Structure 1
């Protein structure tokens, strides 16, 4: 990390070796000097025909220095919401949540996919609660900024201080330990935004170190079968020269569009990874640091697009996934991700000989979560899904749920819950997977069966009771005991509007939610936790 106030300009097209006036900056003695590097190049040039190219790809037979880490991507804003915190839906322990981008209404304000503010995602998507639940179960998140769509913060926000504040806000709110910078499209060559991003990331990373909290940074970049683009290499160099402690470079092994009628996606991916390995070996040498081959592999990640890619002819199969996993283990690849957990299922219906491009299914024949299970077995993952299944919130059976401090209705044995309904039970928020009644959300399912409830996450000690929202106005008559009300009559009860479903006498409207189907009064209001109906 550097203490420089101004970052070094990023120049992806600049090659110091081709510049006769370029001089190696002064480096600590422990680093490889330029004179020693030149001598070593000459020696290797005499040894083999590979010349400097062979030197860049310096081999070390000591074996892998890292255990590959599985961290699949989840598209946070995609409908239906993917329950990444639920081990039955996500075999991986860690996930990369994407994508944070600039708010369309305020360029320097971070948003989720341009659709939700941070607070909006917390309320409407239960994002903060689900992250908390994942962590309580032994997993963690990587926060991914950028992506192909929308405007990345550093591109949209031209005010350096406000951009740095935005990064700081994200890292503080989500207590981020790993940051993923997904730079695609024109952003890869946007030098002004690259410099702003470097300054912001270096600043917040340094602040976290001072606070005793490490911030790991990955770059995610497009790749060809030959490796990174020239602009991509420039992005990496700019990060390193700008004082960012870069953990590694994750390359998107997808969408090669090389013209093959039946491309071998595994072969293309391994070629891309090998090309990136050579480029990073060379880059670190140019900056005065000699890394062995295993050390470089540990700084590289791979992210395939599972199943059908955006290019019609390209399909990344389960066999390809298994081959990539073997390569990752054999070489000590630092990271393996995939796009995305949302897509790890077979498309419904019949799609024989038809290309299917979908955000919610893979477009190939597979069992649900088949790709996830391949990569979740990588040895570098945190405690696995079996451990997550056994994790319980302490003393939850002894927790008394107070309706005044529960953000959703407290679960009731007799109530009928439709799919998507949220409840609180023993201090935990659950969501119904399908219509059910009398199924204890906290109870373990019988062997060979699935539970009717998804765990969303724990109730915060500062939360309050849900506030019903009336859907009509103008009701003024207050319900009174002893009176007969005709069908269609509207009344207020405890300040909320109801409508009689049939003639009723001396039956007060219910305040237990959800209201039973046989209750004579229909609520004319909505309760947080109820799924939206069209």
Structure 2
């Protein structure tokens, strides 16, 4: 049995330590990470927001190895276009692991993904590589996410855009090898849920990548992020899992978005997340995990909240207090993953505003939600 330090992320730092030291020695021999003193990232500002940074030079060596993801994972989403320095945001907020949103094609019909569909930020070590290294050196890691609402409504989600299953799989493999990641996430919502051919292509591509990863002894897992009702997945989301089961795609986590219900009712966001997640365990058993134990089904459950006031309005509001109760329940239930949209919103600068991009809409101190959510990982 391996004995891990009980506190914090110390064991995860140890897990990457020896390899990181060797990689850092190589970096040093080549003259560093390509970030000069003039372009070094400043620390967090007095408001608690991450500091801005100049664009780093090209990454000179392969990115550091992934840090093992914990069994009970906190990985808030962060819009890569909204945060000037991912590592500074991770450090300032205390969020060790980040889900990076989003990868999509620049135009409908393309079979190549870029970050936010912008060809100026391609999948390359020079794009976010240095920041990922700094996150890993602190014991954290990143999960690239494909899709998102914008891509899913413009035909630029990769499997919606590209009709070649091998080409889709090749893009997934390119992201895995470029950033040395151990999980890919697929945020599938809106119009993408109605594209049954794309759903099939995506799951078939996952199967190809799983075979490739096994041949190359490369650990990789996949998560689906899907809209939810308070009673679990709607039929459209359930169909994604039925397709995965039919083609044999192994899905490690199904991450339900427990917000934006748009049903005209007032919601207790923490309570509705509980009922949705409980229903999800049954839906997992009926689709992708028919032989799993109840504990294993809960381990497959992921829950993503929207902190503060969601896109619908005040009747769908998660407060810091509500988040505290939600995290306590998630720990006791054995949920595998918790997340929220989005890290850059974790401040109280726009009280009363719904669905804001850069603030939560509720009165709070900077990073208050992140610090509550991080308790989930410390419990185990």
TM-score bracket, shorter-length normalisation: 0.7 to 0.9
- 1:100–1:110: 8 Å Cα contact kept in structure 2? yes
1:188 aligns with 2:193: yes
> Which residue matches 1:272?
276
Who is 2:347 aligned against?
345
1:138-168, CA deviations, whole angstroms, 9 ceiling, x for partnerless residues? 2111111111112210000112232222222
User: Is 2:309 aligned against 1:290?
Assistant: no
Displacement of 1:81: 2.1
Deviations 1:421-453 (A, max 9, x none): xxxxxxxxxxxxxxxxxxxxxxxxxxxxxxxxx
Residue in 1 that maps onto 2:26: none
Does the 8 Å CA contact 2:87/2:134 hold for their aligned counterparts? no
Corresponding residue for residue 172 of structure 1: 177
* 1:99 is aligned to 2:81: no
Q: Which has the higher helix share?
A: 2
Closer, same or farther in 2 for the Cα pair 1:281/1:380, shift >3 Å? farther
- Asked if 1 retains the 8 angstrom alpha-carbon contact of 2:251 and 2:288, the reply is no
Indicate how the Cα distance of structure 1 residues 256 and 356 shifts in structure 2: closer, same or farther if over 3 A, else same: closer
Matched, 1:227 2:228: no
3-state SS in 1 of match to 2:105: strand
**Displacement of 1:85 after TM fit?**
4.7
Structure with greater proportional strand content? 1
Contact 1:112–1:121 (Cα < 8 Å) also in 2:
no
CA shift digits 1:284-317 (9 cap, x unpaired): 57xxx33332221111000000001001121111
Q: Under a length normalisation based on structure 2, what TM-score does the superposition of the two structures give? A: 0.75
CA deviation after TM superposition for structure 1 residue 113, in Å:
1.2
Residues 142, 120 of structure 1: CA spacing in aligned structure 2 closer, same or farther, 3 A cutoff? closer
**Alpha-carbon shift at residue 116 of structure 1 (Å):** 4.0
Unaligned residue ranges in structure 2 (runs of 5+): 1-69
How many angstroms apart in 2 are the aligned matches of 1:276 and 1:120? 33
Q: In the alignment, is the contact (CA less than 8 A) between 2:113 and 2:123 conserved in 1?
A: no
Displacement of 1:253 in angstroms is 0.7
| Aligned residue runs from structure 1 range 470-485, under 5 A | none
Deviations 1:238-288 (A, max 9, x none): 11331222112100011112322x421112211211221222223357xxx
**Aligned with 2:250 (options 218, 242, 245):** 245
Aligned counterpart, 1:370: 368
Report the TM-score, using the length of structure 1 for normalisation.
0.54
Is residue 229–residue 261 contact of structure 2 (8 Å, CA) maintained in 1?
yes
Counterpart selection for 2:329 from 327, 330, 342: 327
Q: Which runs of 5+ in 1 are unaligned?
A: 1-65, 383-534
Cα distance in 1 between the residues matched to 2:161 and 2:379? 35
Do 1:284 and 1:291's aligned partners in 2 also have CA atoms closer than 8 Å? Answer: no
Map of 1:30 onto structure 2: none
Cα 1:219–1:345, aligned 2, differ >3 Å: closer, same or farther?
A: same
Cα 1:259–1:105 change in 2 (3 A) is closer
**How far apart, CA to CA, are the structure 1 residues paired with 2:288 and 2:131?**
39
- Aligned partners of 1:233 and 1:120: how far apart in 2? 31
Q: Is the 8 A contact 1:70 1:380 kept in 2?
A: no
